[in-house]
């Protein structure tokens, strides 16, 4: 079976984890990894928000799946655009690891104790605006590169950086973490911490196999998060934080958006049943709309963001 992936160390680790799960189910299968460079990989120093196309870290790989050159592709779910491909299915979402962001600081200080004027690095405009809201005395600077490269800059160019915890742990770098950041302060993008596997809609054999590594709770959480962001008109140009947590037959969702100047925050928390995702998504959308989220999102979408 031919599997598509990016070439970063983290991408390869995630792809190997999927392959290992499948080998436990079908040990007789052989797998070949094909590394494909994406637009985001080829333009590492370009602002993420200056690209005219969506899916800069996955498009080339998924097109290869659509053309039949790959049997399936492995991605970080947070990298997948909210608008999915008609030809592809989100065949599996494996058990999600921590959705939290983490702080890696030069001297191990937590976020609340960073000195005034400290320089914080991030590639995410969502994290930038969250820092701006909670600590307007800090300086947030754009940071690109793979995880290891970013960590190497702590203590040199940056006093601290903010990254996704799941990636840090998958790379075995958890000893670098200074603080797990709370989900209600640094609310993540949809699907953060989850690995997604995409395959063609008409490849029923592959879809049946991949369904065996699908985690139902993680799927419910991530699909709810993506549906809310899509419903609200979020995405790259309107950063929406949303986190869902399923416990038994209960699904708790918290969603938040900040104004572009980092001074206003609109948030809501809704509880429902995983079997009634549509209703839960509608309730979140209604609550945030009543609070004036449409004006904030419109402001973000009209702005020219260089980040």
**What is the CB neighbour count within 10 angstroms for residue 200?**
20
User: Quick check: 234 pLDDT over 70?
Assistant: no
Containing structural domain, residue 169: 101-180
Residue 220 lies in a domain: no
pLDDT digits (tens, 9 = 90+) for 133-143: 999 999 999 99
Kind and range of the H or E run holding 297: helix 293-302
The number of distinct structural domains making up the chain is 3
Q: 80 and 8 in one domain? A: yes
Kind and range of the H or E run holding 278: helix 277-290
* Three-state SS at 122: strand
The residues assigned a catalytic role are: 79
**What is the CB neighbour count within 10 angstroms for residue 132?**
19
Query: How far is Cα 150 from Cα 66, in angstroms, rounded to an integer?
Result: 33
pTM: 0.92
Query: How far is Cα 179 from Cα 162, in angstroms, rounded to an integer?
Result: 10
Residues 260 and 248 sit within 8 Å (Cβ to Cβ): no
CATH of the domain at 290: 3.30.160.40
Q: 206 and 90 in one domain? A: yes
Q: 150 and 79 in one domain? A: no
Q: 154 and 71 in one domain? A: no
Please give the sequence-ordered ranges of beta strands (E in DSSP) within 240-294, or none if there are none. Answer: 240-247, 250-258, 265-272
Tokens of 132: 């701006």
Please provide the average confidence, as pLDDT, over all residues in the chain: 92
Residue 118 is predicted with a pLDDT of 98
Q: 200 and 82 in one domain? A: yes
User: Quick check: 51 pLDDT over 50?
Assistant: no
**What is the CB neighbour count within 10 angstroms for residue 42?**
10
Residue 186 lies in a domain: no
Residue 142 lies in a domain: yes
Q: Which range among 4-8, 34-38, 52-56, 193-197 shows the weakest confidence by mean pLDDT? A: 52-56
Residue 222 lies in a domain: no
What's the average model confidence in pLDDT over 65-90?
A: 94
pLDDT digits (tens, 9 = 90+) for 18-46: 999 999 999 999 999 999 998 766 545 55
Query: How far is Cα 129 from Cα 276, in angstroms, rounded to an integer?
Result: 32
Residue 64 lies in a domain: yes
Residue 52 is predicted with a pLDDT of 45
User: Quick check: 8 pLDDT over 70?
Assistant: yes
Residue 83 is predicted with a pLDDT of 85
Q: 202 and 66 in one domain? A: yes
Q: 74 and 23 in one domain? A: yes
């Amino acid at each position: 079976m031919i599997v598509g992936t990016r070439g970063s160390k983290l991408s390869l680790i995630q792809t190997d984890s999927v392959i290992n799960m499948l080998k436990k189910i079908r040990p007789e299968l052989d797998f070949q990894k094909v590394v494909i460079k994406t637009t985001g990989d080829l333009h590492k120093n370009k602002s993420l928000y200056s690209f005219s196309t969506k899916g800069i870290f996955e498009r080339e790989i998924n097109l290869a799946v659509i053309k039949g050159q790959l049997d399936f592709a492995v991605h970080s779910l947070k990298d997948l655009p909210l608008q999915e491909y008609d030809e592809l299915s989100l065949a599996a979402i494996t058990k999600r690891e921590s959705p939290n962001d983490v702080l890696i600081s030069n001297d191990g200080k937590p976020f609340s104790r960073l000195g005034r004027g400290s320089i914080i690095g991030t590639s995410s405009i969502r994290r930038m605006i969250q820092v701006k809201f909670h600590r307007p005395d800090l300086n947030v600077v754009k940071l690109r590169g793979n995880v290891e490269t970013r960590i190497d800059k702590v203590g040199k160019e940056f006093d601290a950086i903010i990254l996704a915890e799941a990636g840090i742990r998958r790379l075995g770098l958890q000893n670098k973490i200074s603080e797990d950041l709370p989900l209600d302060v640094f609310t993540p993008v949809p699907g953060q911490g989850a690995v997604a596997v995409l395959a063609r809609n008409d490849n029923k054999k592959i879809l049946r196999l991949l369904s065996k590594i699908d985690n139902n709770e993680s799927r419910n959480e991530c699909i709810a998060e993506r549906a809310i962001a899509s419903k609200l008109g979020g995405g790259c140009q309107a950063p929406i934080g949303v986190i869902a947590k399923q416990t038994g037959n209960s699904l708790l969702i918290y969603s938040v958006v900040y104004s572009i100047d980092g001074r206003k925050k609109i948030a809501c928390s809704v509880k429902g049943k995983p079997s009634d995702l549509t209703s839960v998504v509608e309730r979140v959308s209604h609550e945030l709309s009543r609070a004036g989220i449409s004006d904030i999102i419109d402001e973000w979408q009209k702005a020219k963001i260089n980040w």
